[in-house]
A and B are shown apart, each in its own frame.
Chain A
Amino acid sequence: MFKESNRSHGLESFIAPESEQNSQAQIKVSIQSNVAHINLRGKIKHRPFLEHMETVLDQKLPVKPNTTNFENHSIFWLGPDEWLILCPLSEATKLVKDLQGSGGSMHAAVNDVSGGQIALRLDGNHVRDVLAKGCTLDLHPSVFGQGMCAQSNLAKANVLISMGHEPHAFDLIVRRSFSDYLLHWLKVAAAEYTTEWSES
């Protein structure tokens, strides 16, 4: 009767058509639209919580501040009692349900926040130079390497920055309502380099 409600991150205008993609670009920006974002809160001192979560996730929760664990899902430390889990979109419903578990005394909060966050991957030798224009953190490899993440500002937006799986790849996670601003800023900041804007 009515057209299907299409899923949309609202950033389609930034993505260049396939014919204009430039695989040789110095900076590659890709919008990670096929991941689900799950926010997890709970107290690690509460043993049943930790055991349950690590069993379901099949990996450890990173407990050291500003670190990540990418063994199975991508898990980011956000605070002493807060984590962000990224998983493939198709697995999200089941994972949320499993994490929530049964019974109401889990001492935890599991929220699917996929609609509220945009994940970006920035790849290329000059990514650090671009980020340095808007981020006051020291992102030098000797200070901020693989396995690290940090919540800070990029330009005037709050972001979660982390080193990706590749040596020059950074993952950025930004609130949806700031994503249009942040991508505009990235366009300006990366203007001196050749760039490729895609979606994956």
Chain B
Amino acid sequence: MQPNRLKTGGRINRSKPLNFFFNGKAFKGYEGDTLASALLANDVKLVGRSFKLRRPRGIVGSGAEEPNSIMQVDKGAMAQPNVRATQVLLHDGLIAKSTRGWPSLRFDIGFMLDVFSSIFSAGFYYKTFMHPRPFWKYYERFIRKSAGFGKAPEHSDPETYEHRNAHCDVLVAGGGPAGLMAALTAASSGARVLLADDQTEFGGSLLNTATHVNSKPGSEWVRQTVSALSKLDNVTLLNRSTVFGYHDHNFLTIVQESDDHVRQREWRVRAKQVILSQGAFERPLVFCNNDRPGIMQASAVSTYINRYAVCPGERAIIFTNNDSAYQTALDLKRAGATVAAVVDSRKKGGGSYAAAVEQAGIPLLYGHLITNVSGQNHITKAHIAKWDGDNDAIIENSIKIPCDLIAMSGGWSAAVHLHSQAGGQNQWDHNLCSFVPGAISQQTISAGAGNGKWALEDCLQDGHDAGMSAAKRCGLQPIASEQLPAVSEIHTTPIEPLWRVPATVDPDRCPKQFLDFQNDTCVSDIRLAVREGYRNVEHVKRYTALGFGTDQGKLGNINGMAVLAETLGKPLEDVGTTTFRPPYTPVSFGACAGESVGSLYDPVRKTAMHDLHRSAGAKFENVGQWHRPWYFPKRGESLDAAVARECLKTRQSVGILDASTLGKIDVQGPDAVKFLERIYTHNVGNMSVGRCAYGIMLGEDGMVMDDGVMARIDDQHFYLTTTTGGAAAVLSWLELWLQTEWPELDVFLTSVTDHYSTIAVSGPNSMKLIEKIGCDIPLTSDQFPFMSIRNAHLNRIPVQLFRVSFSGELAFEINIDSNYAAGMWEVLIDAGQEFDITPYGTEAMHVLRAEKGFIIVGQDTDGSVTPVDLRMNWMLSKDKDFIGKRSLSRPDSLRDDRKQLVGLLSNDGKTVLLEGAQLVEDPAASIPIPMCGHVSSSYMSSCLGHPIALALVAGGHSRIGQSLYASSGEKSFVPVTITNPIFYDKKNELQNV
């Protein structure tokens, strides 16, 4: 039983009934309904409570402008907070709840707020809860609880969302008569056209009204046009798709509601030309208690009747200052409702429709106003009074006429939102009483009602012309229509502005006249803001909340600005509008994220041995986007225990590390030496073929930028390694110098980071292991000394073999084609069983290198550390220039109290310092305690049996042996001694064996 449902008509499917629940009660609607039309069909009048005053509210509109029916739809992970019932397509089993109203919608405890509403004026919260100041934290708890709308979903969203990039010649935003005509015309040129409309069906106003096109119902012309468009390969039709953002460079974003595959899809469109045909919004009229349930936009009433076959009332009154609402009177009459009167504020009105209304026996009250209504949860009577057009008049005598529906129309505002987002100007049109698009700043054409063309005939012409221009601007040849669709000619009576109905008492003390329904902003609030000194529309907006909320002032903004203009005594165009920003309607986080959630949030880079490490039980850590084995725990082993074992075994026998993530760059060309001499600080030219060197590169500021081992493969052929994190940046840095500063150098760089996997084998038994798996070159130090490179075959696979060490042990690094790396790793593990080979991760790698005092760029340096600070003076060539060299002689670089790299030992021999801990000389000093450095690396060294740390200490190099204190949490300090940073094998003998 749907009491307000009409027997015939509408675009709903009566053979497909749908069940839904609203506030726990079961209802029925039809396929094709929105939640709003289904609620109205079931005569549900009360749908929510207002934000501030908790006043009962009903459905006002039929689209994106709806301020009141803000719903929590569906439950649990599927919950959608704060959606407009007018934009929710009904589905079977839908569960909707009002987002406001406690303990129940009908008996909201907040009604007390309304009773005392006179004190809840603009700025109430600012004024009241600021005093006494410290109490805000108590007030806040209660205010937060009573504020806000719906609840966020309780679980992560199980649905999928996606992004979709699209390119087109012409994007048409809005598929009403102008948009359809524009798309059709533009498409005739062969242009790639994308037409988006936020409704389920294209057609816009033609489906909402009883208008005829070509002597047939408008919906028939829509059907033919959409069918013609859908047959064209060059046209993409997107329904249920809201263009919500118009960004720079004709880049627009669209959110498309669910289809079979995804819940929402965000289209990211790059269009050559954009046609904006989004229509217009009807304005409410501003009278006392104009927010009561039962008072609706006239156009919404027509929409519910024509599109959804729902008549929202039995006894209606029309209140208008323009002609369009006369059609609503006829629609209501045809739907079987009684229209008690058309109340028109003008002396004369209705244009072509006046006669029809009169013929239908509907009383026409010209020069009348509705000043107030009776009824709380639903209107029962309209208070109607005669008016002579004087805004300051006080209207005392009114007659009360019973009604359950008021259809109001305060005129129309062109939807200039996207035009404005694109940077376009707006201008006020006095005849239309609307802002219309002015100067454009992108490739945009506005058309139809959105361009101030109210009449259907003008809309079609405007759409046609826009389609022609857009296609021509793309350099294409559209085909002009010889004849536009025929519509009946009408004449109109001009609108007369009525921004505020004169009140029974003065406007500051009469019952509230609402401007912004969602934020409870009233005429009296705007007037108060002006009295308190606010002048600028942006300030008034923020003080009164006019135009905030989910509808962003689509309904109330223009009325509010007009009242502001009146109060300030300025013309409306001088007051202007607030800034229009994306999104046009709220967009879910899911649509913004698209596919980039969960494991696809950020790419995971894997080495060729990744799966082997996983099978070996490795714990991974993120290093940039790489996942690297952190440590390899045995059953039940802790991080500390595993790292201690991995370090000891490596130093005692042999350990194996996946070092594939190192950046690797191949450098070739006749000028390779010249180039690398300028990049690195050491004498590259002195290196003989087959030798390696540790190299550092500096920024122009002289600070250490990256480091790594580099090798001379041939006279003009080098191989560089970079830090894992620095790989991409270093390659770009080198290319930058080559391409922009030194184009005369004949040098070519190629990244081989992914091509080569790198396996480091370290420890006294590493040579034996390499020999065991079959190596075709001699490995002894006399033939293959420390810091050399050879091409070799290991287990018959060609490799680059390096004799280098990052652990201070006898060690080798194997560079191998990544396709063979996993196989090589397995071979080494198998062969290494004899030596109890131990795979180790990044943590053990860090400990082993710190024991040797080797730095990690980015951990022991931070972009403010020179090589001198690291005691690497020996690496700075005096014979040549290199990037950063001159900066090293700046006075600041020569200060002897610069932070310098040192070692630290805790005096108790037990405490592992916190990395990042500040170092102080006197913990008892008054706060703020002067700080003289920080701990950059700190580990428990299982090989030494005590903790070690590296630190940067002001003037540290000359302070060896002195004591400091390291912060170890709140008010607690550990005494430490400054040492040399090399803790293990101080003479570097092991790596040279």
Contact = CB atoms under 8 A, between A and B. Distances in A.
Interface string B595-612: 110011011111110110
B835 to A, nearest CB: 15
Interface stretch (B335-343, B404-412, B826-834, B970-978): B826-834
B750 A10 contact: no
Contact of B823 (A6, A41, A189): A6
Given A43-B746, A143-B167, A178 B603 contact: yes
Interface string A179-196: 011101100110110000
A189 B162 contact: yes
A47 interface: no
A156 B753 CA distance: 18
A155 interface: yes
Given A104-B715, A133-B595, A180-B604, A109 B668 contact: yes
A175 B754 CA distance: 7
B476 to A, nearest CB: 12
Contacts of A30: none
B755 A114 contact: yes
Interface stretch (B353-361, B505-513, B812-820, B958-966): B812-820
Given A116-B754, A135-B165, A2 B746 contact: no
Contacts of B261: 191-192
A136 B249 CA distance: 14
Interface in B780-832: 795, 797, 816-824, 826-827, 830-831
B278 to A, nearest CB: 25
B164 interface: yes
From A6, A132, A177, A182, residue with most partner B Cβ within 10 Å: A177
A108 B824 CA distance: 31
A132 B166 contact: yes
Interface in B670-696: 670
A108 B757 contact: no
A117 B162 CA distance: 27
A64 interface: no
Contacts of A10: 606, 608, 610-611, 822
Contacts of A192: 260-262
B753 to A, nearest CB: 7
Nearest to B166: A132
B748 A81 contact: yes
Contacts of A177: 605-607, 626, 753-754
Contacts of B714: 104
Nearest to A132: B165
A42 B753 CA distance: 20
B80 interface: no
A6 B822 CA distance: 8
Contacts of A157: 603
B246 interface: no
A107 B746 contact: yes
A10 B820 CA distance: 10
B817 A115 contact: yes
**Which one of B160, B610, B817 has the highest number of Cβ atoms from chain A below 10 Å of its Cβ?**
B817
Nearest to A1: B774
Nearest to A5: B823
Contacts of B599: 184
Interface string B234-263: 000000000000000000000000001110
A108 B750 CA distance: 11
Contacts of A94: none
B475 to A, nearest CB: 13
A43 B824 CA distance: 37
A69 interface: no
Contact of A113 (B192, B752, B827): B752
B595 A185 contact: yes
Given A5-B824, A105-B670, A177-B626, A117 B754 contact: yes
A117 B750 CA distance: 13
Interface in A1-27: 1-10
Interface residues of A, number: 52
A115 B755 contact: yes
Nearest to B260: A192
Interface string B137-174: 00000000000000000000000101111110000000
A105 B817 CA distance: 26
B666 interface: yes
A176 interface: yes
Contacts of B626: 177
Contacts of A175: 754
Contact of A7 (B162, B164, B610, B819): B819
Contacts of B162: 133, 189
A180 B606 contact: yes
Contacts of B666: 109, 111
A62 interface: no
Contacts of B595: 133-134, 155, 185, 188-189
B818 A2 contact: no
B585 interface: no
| Best-surrounded residue of A8, A109, A114, A137 (most CB of chain B within 10 A) | A109
Contact of A4 (B669, B746, B823, B830): B823
A112 interface: yes
Contacts of A116: 751-756, 818
Nearest to A135: B165
A41 B748 contact: yes
Contacts of A4: 823
A39 interface: yes
B669 A109 contact: yes
B88 interface: no
Interface in A71-114: 81, 104-105, 107-109, 111-114
B669 A176 contact: no
A132 B265 CA distance: 12
A73 B512 CA distance: 80
B700 to A, nearest CB: 25
Nearest to A12: B611
A138 B817 contact: no
A181 B192 contact: no
Contacts of B773: 1-2
> Which of A1, A2, A43, A135 has the most chain B CB atoms closer than 10 A to its own CB?
A2
Nearest to A42: B748
B165 A2 contact: no
Given A115-B757, A116-B753, A108 B164 contact: no
A18 B110 CA distance: 67
B268 interface: yes
A184 B601 CA distance: 12
B270 interface: yes
Given A133-B163, A140-B167, A184-B600, A9 B755 contact: no
Interface in B252-292: 260-262, 268, 270
A115 B800 CA distance: 14
B992 interface: no
A115 to B, nearest CB: 4
Contact of B818 (A1, A143, A176): A176
B958 to A, nearest CB: 45
A133 B795 contact: no
A41 B749 CA distance: 8
B377 interface: no
A41 B604 CA distance: 29
B716 interface: yes
Nearest to B595: A188
Given A133-B162, A180-B606, A5 B820 contact: yes
12 contacts: A5-B826, A10-B611, A41-B750, A43-B746, A112-B817, A115-B608, A133-B162, A138-B167, A177-B754, A178-B603, A181-B604, A192-B262
Given A5-B823, A7-B820, 5 more contacts: A81-B748, A115-B754, A116-B751, A133-B163, A175-B754
Instruction: For the complex of A and B, list the 3 residue pairs with the smallest distance between their C-beta atoms, beginning with the closest.
Output: A5-B823, A116-B754, A116-B755
Interface of B: 160, 162-167, 192, 260-262, 268, 270, 594-596, 599-600, 602-608, 610-611, 626, 666, 668-670, 714-716, 746, 748-757, 773-774, 795, 797, 816-824, 826-827, 830-831
